[in-house]
Amino acid sequence: MASTHFGQTLAGLPHPSAASFGESLDSAAALSAQYPAGRVVFTVYGPFDQLNGTMLALQ
């Protein structure tokens, strides 16, 4: 996932928080790739027009 930069694709969506969401997703994927024995959880919730999310990294 880290090498796909999928977050950049999501950042192009017509949504006020799309850029932040996409950047956060790519950051979570890059962090996860650095710690293969750990866990990075990225949770998104809410309706599409009011997305919220959390990220948790455990080594």
**Residuewise pLDDT in 10s, the chain (59 residues):** 557 788 888 788 887 878 888 888 888 888 878 877 877 777 777 776 676 777 676 66
Are residues 12 and 25 in contact, defined by beta-carbon separation less than 8 angstroms? no
Locate 37 and state its tokens: 């024995």
- The helix (run of H) or strand (run of E) holding residue 28 is helix 18-34
pTM confidence score: 0.63
In the three-class reduction of DSSP (H, G, I as helix; E, B as strand; rest coil), residue 56 is classed as strand
